Amino acid sequence: MAFPGLDPAAVARSLGLVVGDAEEPSEVYFERRIEAELPPAGAPVGFRLRREEGLAVRLARGERTWLASRDALTGRALAEALRQVARVWPAAAPEPELEIGDSSVAVPRDQIAAFPGRLELELRRRLAAFPMRLTVRWHRRDLQVVGPRMVPPPEREAFFSLDAELPWGRCGELAIGLGAAEAAAFATRLVARFRAREAPPPEPGRVPLLLAPAAAAVALHEAVAHALEADLMARSGQPEAALGLDFSAPGLDVLDDPSAAPSGVERTTDDEGSGVVRRWLLRAGRVEQPIADATAARRWPRLLPGSGFRSGRHGRPRPRTHHLELLPGGATEDELMAAADGGLLVAELASGTLDPASGRFVLEVPAARRIESGRPGAPVGRFRILGRVAELLGGVAAIGATAEAAGAGWCAKAGERRAVWARAPALVVRGLEVRA
């Protein structure tokens, strides 16, 4: 148990004393986090273990919301936070009882320690050797939300992350496990970058792009997920006005479904305690349900809550994707290659950014290959893909028939970082600009 001794009913009673309208978003959020890190060989300071815990209380009234957070799981910390958001604490109210014991969590240190050796073996199998500084991390976050009326089940996310510093750039990965399959997949990515390290970038222009599942997932994260987050949509208009809008080519079905995320990071409720939903962002290219948290759903009643996620106890919940899915189309691998002939095969993207005001995005490509006569050809070096959301979504020419878990990574929104997950097939897109 992450929070042994926690009495949700007692916490709910304390919260009930300060909540005026139980329909308004209000909750107590308890959090425990662990990050274990194996640094690169030779790095100053060895194995690193970070443990944190704390709580936050949120209270909303009308258009105003208050949040108070503390780095402690004690009755005093809870009382202070309740008092701070309510500004008034009933004179007769006792200090809430909160006696949460320590939780014993086993850090998978053996798995972490074994991975660098496994990776090196896989690199040798591929006849490759190059300087690299590898950091292996394990992340775990336990949370419990308590509302005035309901107490959802505790949630947990646990996963690994890899960060390789190479002479020609960084390469990162999120993974649920650290077995032989993960070592082989990561080695394949590292070797592809190694082999393209001196390749020249492609000529600037607009050529067809075959985005492999990992690259397609990152592109859609920027172009669909961020573009359909209610708070970002509100900067340029009414989020509800987008419902029913033709947003992309008709064949595109994009969902966000936190419950379908890989085992270990799947969610049944969000960080506000709302049940998650299988949210159709785009159905046949038409906007069906933007990503919303409880605050957005209260302000714009046609939006559904269930996607309010936080970077931690000190951050506010915001509408965010957790597990993005692009449903497969019908194109075989040969058909995808043929549709992108003369263009570029992009296996992965290093990063992406979206300017929500203009709809312009930039995708950083660490390496790719030319597509010549329907087959992968010569490697090309680092370049960028630029365009507007409408160009990307309107330029989809083919969707692969097989979807796979791919494109997981770190998403930073308003300076707050979260791990996000995805499942996608390959995509062929035309009309985007390629620039060194």
Partner 1 sequence: MSEVLGGRGRGLVAGLAHAGALDAEAYEKRGRSRRLERGPEGEFSSTAVEAGWAVRAGDLRHSWFASGAGELPLAASWPQPTANPLWLPEPRPPAPWSAPAAFAAPLAGESEARALLDAVTRELARELPGARLGSALFEEGASEWSLVSSRGVAATGAARAATLRLVAERNAHTVTAETWAFEAREMKPLAVARRLVDRLLALEGGARPHGSALLVAAPLAARLVEALSPWLIGREAPARASALAGRGGRLGAPGLRLVDDGALASGLLSSASDGEGIPCRELTLVEDGRFVRPLLAWWEAESPAAASGCVRRASYRDLPRRAATHLYLAGDPRLGVPELVAEAGDGAYLIDAEGTVAVEPASGRFSVAVTGFALEGGRAKGGLGRRVLAGTLGGWLGGVRAAARDLTFVAGDGMFGSPTLLVDGLDLGVPGS
Q: Return residues touching partner 1 (CB under 8 A).
A: 38-39, 41-54, 62-72, 80, 84, 109, 113, 230-231, 234-235, 295-296, 299, 314, 316, 357
**Is 321:291 a contact under the CB 8 Å cutoff?**
yes
State in angstroms the smallest separation of the CB of 322 from partner 1.
20
- Counting Cβ atoms within 10 Å, is residue 50 exposed (0-12), middle (13-18) or buried (19+)? exposed
Measured CA to CA, the distance from residue 434 to residue 130 in angstroms comes to: 29
CA dihedral for 194, 199, 204, 210, sign (positive or negative):
negative
Residue spans of alpha helices (H) in 126-233? 180-195, 213-220, 230-233
DSSP string across 378-431: EEE--EEEEEEHHHHHHTEEEEBS--EE---EEEEETTEEEEEEEEE--EEE-S
Taking the least distance from each CB to partner 1, the nearer of 92 and 205 is 205
State in angstroms the smallest separation of the CB of 338 from partner 1.
33
Measured CA to CA, the distance from residue 376 to residue 384 in angstroms comes to: 19
Taking the least distance from each CB to partner 1, the nearer of 70 and 369 is 70
Taking the least distance from each CB to partner 1, the nearer of 48 and 170 is 48
Q: Taking the CA of residue 198 as centre, how many other CA atoms within 13 Å lie in the half-sphere pointing to its CB?
A: 0
Query: What's the full length of the chain, in residues?
Result: 436
State in angstroms the smallest separation of the CB of 52 from partner 1.
4
- Counting Cβ atoms within 10 Å, is residue 134 exposed (0-12), middle (13-18) or buried (19+)? buried
State in angstroms the smallest separation of the CB of 163 from partner 1.
14
Measured CA to CA, the distance from residue 367 to residue 383 in angstroms comes to: 7
- Give exposure, 417-428, as e/b (b: 16+ Cβ within 10 Å): ebbbbbbbbbbb
State in angstroms the smallest separation of the CB of 41 from partner 1.
7
State in angstroms the smallest separation of the CB of 214 from partner 1.
26
State in angstroms the smallest separation of the CB of 109 from partner 1.
8
N-terminal to C-terminal alpha carbon distance within the chain: 51
State in angstroms the smallest separation of the CB of 46 from partner 1.
4
Taking the least distance from each CB to partner 1, the nearer of 156 and 314 is 314
Q: Which residues contact 284 (CB under 8 A, 6 or more apart)?
A: 250, 251, 252, 253
Taking the least distance from each CB to partner 1, the nearer of 388 and 423 is 388
Measured CA to CA, the distance from residue 220 to residue 42 in angstroms comes to: 38
State in angstroms the smallest separation of the CB of 38 from partner 1.
7
State in angstroms the smallest separation of the CB of 181 from partner 1.
25
Taking the least distance from each CB to partner 1, the nearer of 47 and 130 is 47
Taking the least distance from each CB to partner 1, the nearer of 63 and 198 is 63
Taking the least distance from each CB to partner 1, the nearer of 48 and 375 is 48
Tokens of 182: 């993960």
Q: Which residues contact 273 (CB under 8 A, 6 or more apart)?
A: 27, 145, 146, 147, 150, 151, 152
**Is 422:217 a contact under the CB 8 Å cutoff?**
yes
Taking the least distance from each CB to partner 1, the nearer of 71 and 97 is 71
State in angstroms the smallest separation of the CB of 54 from partner 1.
6
Taking the least distance from each CB to partner 1, the nearer of 46 and 301 is 46
Taking the least distance from each CB to partner 1, the nearer of 59 and 252 is 59
Measured CA to CA, the distance from residue 312 to residue 167 in angstroms comes to: 33
